Amino acid sequence: MSEDQHAQPSASRAEPLCDVNTPTPTHAERARTLVARIPTGTLCTLAIEPEGYPYGSFVTVAFDNGNPVFLISRLAEHTKNLERDPRASLLVAESGADDPLANGRVTMLGPCTRLEGDGGRARAAFLTVHPNAAYYADFRDFAFWYLRVQAIRYIGGYGRMSWISQDDWQAAEADPLAPYAAGAIAHMNADHPDAMVLYCKAFSKAADVTSATMTGVDLQDGGRAIPQDRRSRAERPQNDRSLAHRRFEQGLSLGRGLRRRARGDQRRMGRHPGSGGFAGR
C-alpha cells in the first residue's frame, strides 16, 4: 500500500502529543469501516451514449465480503452500460463536515456482473441493509449485481490517502464499535469532562491540561488498536458497547493512578497537591 501525504512547511510541524509508534487502524480497516456504515454511493459505468464517457448513478449498496452488491433494473442506464462493458467503480463518501474535502471517501474499482439465480448470499447481505427492497427484489427486470473489487483508493481527509491492495482489503474488517462511537463520544463529553482530562494525562504528552473534548475513539488493547478488531474470540461475542465501556474504565483507572502518583511527587517536593492543572474525582 502506498501512502501519500500533502507536503507541509517544516515550521508547521509540531511535536506529536501521542506516541507515534502506537498501532492504529490501517487504511484498509478505516476504509472498510467507512463503507460498512454508508448504504449509498455513486456507481460509475462506461456510457453507451454518449459513448465512452463515465456515467455516474446514485445507487443503494451493501457489501458481501468486501465486495459491493447492487439490486438494479435492466431498464436503468447503468445496467445497460454494464451489460456492454463490466468495468465500473463505486464511490462511497462521508457527509456532514463543514469542509466537504475533510470527509473520508473510498473508490472501489473492478468488474461488475450480474449474479445468477436469486443472488444467494449477496441477496441476503443486501436485504439486511435495505429491507424495503424485498418488495421489488423479485420483479423480472431487477437483478443482483456484484462488483468484484480489484483496486481501492482511500482518502481519509486532508493528508491521509493511499491505494489499498486487494489482499489488505479482503483481510480487513470494519470497526465493530463504529455504530456506537458518536453516542459514546457525546456521553463522555457531556457527563465525564474530568475523565477526558485524565485520559489526556494518561495517554499523551500534553502538560497542564485543564479541559479536554473527545472527538474520536481509538481504543487500545495491550498495544493493539481495538478498531482493528483483533480482539480475542472470548471477547468478541460480548456486546461491543460493553467492551468499549470496559476500555474506558481501564483508561480512567490508569489516569487516576497517574494523578495519584503525580500528587505524591508534589508532596515529596513540598508542593500543594491541589495546585495541579486538572480536576476530577
pLDDT per residue as tens digits for the range 60-115: 999 999 999 999 999 999 999 999 999 999 999 999 878 999 999 999 999 999 99
Better pLDDT: 141 or 224: 141
> Are the CB atoms for 90 and 70 separated by under 8 Å?
no
Dist CA 142 CA 71 (whole Å): 7
- At a CB cut-off of 8 Å and minimum separation 6, what does 224 contact? 23, 230
Query: Is the per-residue pLDDT at 11 higher than 80?
Result: no
pLDDT above 70 as % of the chain: 70
Query: Is the per-residue pLDDT at 42 higher than 90?
Result: yes
**pLDDT recorded at residue 237:** 38
pLDDT per residue as tens digits for the range 106-142: 999 999 999 998 889 999 999 999 999 999 999 999 9
Among the listed residues 263, 254, 279, 265, the one whose alpha carbon sits nearest the alpha carbon of residue 197: 279
pTM: 0.74
Query: Is the per-residue pLDDT at 179 higher than 50?
Result: yes
Query: Is the per-residue pLDDT at 180 higher than 90?
Result: no
Q: Is the peptide bond prior to 50 cis by the omega test (within 30 degrees of 0)?
A: yes
**pLDDT recorded at residue 225:** 38
Query: Is the per-residue pLDDT at 260 higher than 60?
Result: yes
Domain with CATH 2.30.110.10 in the chain: 27-171
Q: Write the secondary structure of the chain as one string of H (helix), E (strand) and C (coil).
A: CEEECCCCCHHHCCCCCCCCCCCCCCHHHHHHHHHHCCCEEEEEEECCCCCCCEEEEEEECEEECCEEEEEEECCCHHHHHHHHCCEEEEEEECCCCCCHHHCCEEEEEEEEEECCCCCHHHHHHHHHHCHHHHHCCCCCCEEEEEECCCEEEEECCCCCEEEECHHHHHHCCCCCCHHHHHHHHHHHHHHCHHHHHHHHHHHCCCCCCCCCCCCCCCCEECCEEHHHCCCCCCCCCCCHHHHHHHHHHHHHHHHHHHHHHHHHHHHHCCCCHHHCCCCCC
CATH class of 27-171: mainly beta
Better pLDDT: 8 or 232: 8
**pLDDT recorded at residue 75:** 97
Query: Is the per-residue pLDDT at 220 higher than 50?
Result: no
